[in-house]
Amino acid sequence: MSDKEIGEALREWEENLYKPWVSKRGERKAKFETRYARIPLKPLYTPLDVKGSYVEKIGFPGQYPFTRGIYPTMYRGRLWTIRQYSGYGTPEETNKLFKKLLEEGETGLSLAFDLPTQCGYDSDHPLAYGEVGRVGVAINTLRDMELVFDGIPLDKVSTNMTINATAPMLLAMYIAVAEKQGLTPDKLAGTVQNDILKEVVARHAWAFDLDKSMKLVVDVIEFCTKNMPRWNPISITEYHFRESGADSVTAAAFMIADAIEYVRHAIERGLDVDSFAPRISFHLAVYPDLFEEVARIRALRRLWARVMKEKFGAKQRASMTFRFAGTGGGGVPFTRQQPLVNIIRGTLGLLACVLGGAQTAWVTCYDEGYEIPSVHALTIGIRTAQVIAEETSIPDVIDPLAGSYFIEWLTDEMEERIEKEVEEIERRGGALKCIKEGYFQRKIADSAYEWQKRVESGEITVIGLNKYVEAEEEPPITLYKPNPLRQQKAIESKRIALSQRDPDKVREALRGLREAAESGENVMPTVLQAVKAYCTIGEMCDVLREVYGEYKEVIVF
């Protein structure tokens, strides 16, 4: 049937059936739109809504522009890596948890660090009070990292480390632990987040001057490119943009703009784009609006492929692939009210990750609104992934939603909107300049305000919060109870490490780190030496704070 014939049939349906039906019975809402990007939705999509050549726009899995997936077989060859973001107050508790999750079927580890570790302070620093071991594990010295991974063979697992400002130190500790297991860096697989631009905008877990922090990001990329071919030296993240209030299009655009900034800086360092781009990874927040999220993921894959090929001249296929980890559910859609309903939200988010072709995925735990996850909540997250993987045929077909007129139209719409915002950021001088001027921060604040207004007015339904509300009761769940002695234990672990180290090696290592920082050379080799001398996170970061200065927050009014 030709487009003309389809158009005539569509108009006949609208005039003779749809409009008369609606005039008598009405529709549920005055307007229909996607939940997060607010893209207006028509009642019906047809072949007339799908534009462009099939091969050029949609194509085949593993083939440019990778709309349908970055590998030819996708999950028919290998399932996504099942992880749950986890980490408890003390290294010993985290080690026990990791072993438990691996027994339950987790296929990769994801390590959370407490805020003092993220910001470069030891557990006995005054600014660390009340935060030690609170949202992740406290790491002061290599001894703590050794305890976290005690009995876990690092050549048999991949590890994701959500760490940014202090990424060089934590990556160096991981390398040092592996070496004690007889492993060289090239044998290690995993990811270090290392995304400082997102941190200063959305998380405020910074340490050093922003320009110097960008230099440290590239130090890690350069070091891993030369020494760790299986390691992702950066995971560019939109998760926290969304959690701070950015809508789905804005968060995605910020992530791509940040990625462009990092690639530019690495090329300026002298790295060939095809030497490091294949190991660039991304981290998405994937909320429960299934079709919006699947279309967004497919659009990002296609957009990133074009950016790398056309903007940066990448030649290798792997350099153009958008490899990502998705967090199904995200934190913002989860509620304290009726927390078990969050399992449904998380399942929908994970399903969107899988239908969108994630390489790694985990589920936000149902107790997110109260505390860091309990073992039970983490296990439910693993089981959710296992049910999708083993009790459905969803992973057996590559990109099963492709060809849907609605999905293909929405993919195009998402790509156009994201690209338009990326172009605006580039017109303003790029992500780094926009962040320094507060552009990102203002956009997020405005978006968060609009979302909250829509929730409070009831325009947006949040089950349990503003609709189908139940009387407030104690949650029908068992929450994680933080170890009340976690700070004392962390300080004691540091004391033991300090009592056993060689003071001369410490002084020599910190002097070497200072000299490397002052000269502008890559600090990773000297950080690795300092870590092996059991220098503390605080000692290393104090040296870099003195040389680089500290980041000063952009205040947005």
Question: What domains sit in the chain, N to C, each tagged with a CATH number?
Answer: 3-49 (no CATH), 59-457 (3.20.20.240)
Q: Which amino acid is at 401?
A: L
The β-bridge partners of 109 are 159
pLDDT of residue 436: 97
Kindly state the helix (H) or strand (E) to which residue 231 belongs, with its residue range: strand 231-232
Q: Any idea of the CA torsion for 56, 62, 66, 70, to the nearest 10 degrees?
A: 180
Q: Sign of torsion, CA 360 365 370 372?
A: negative
Residues in the chain predicted with pLDDT less than 50, given as ranges, are none
CB atoms near residue 327 (< 10 Å)? 28
CB atoms near residue 195 (< 10 Å)? 27
Q: Which amino acid is at 403?
A: G
pLDDT of residue 1: 84
CA separation for the pair 319, 38 (Å, rounded): 32
pLDDT of residue 424: 98
Q: At what angle do helices 167-180 and 537-548 cross, to 10 degrees?
A: 140
pLDDT of residue 557: 62
pLDDT of residue 88: 82
**How much of the chain, in percent, has pLDDT values that exceed 90?**
94
pLDDT of residue 502: 98
Match 């299934």 to its residue by tokens: 290
Q: Which amino acid is at 52?
A: G
CA separation for the pair 385, 477 (Å, rounded): 21
Convert the pLDDT of each residue in 505-548 to its tens digit.
999 999 999 999 999 999 999 999 999 999 999 999 999 999 99
Provide the phi-psi class of 510: left if phi over 0, else alpha when psi is between -120 and 50, else beta. alpha
Contact at 8 Å (CB) between 85 and 110?
yes
End-to-end CA distance of the chain: 57
Match 């509620």 to its residue by tokens: 335
Smallest Cα–Cα separation from 200: which of 108, 118, 304? 118
CA separation for the pair 95, 143 (Å, rounded): 13
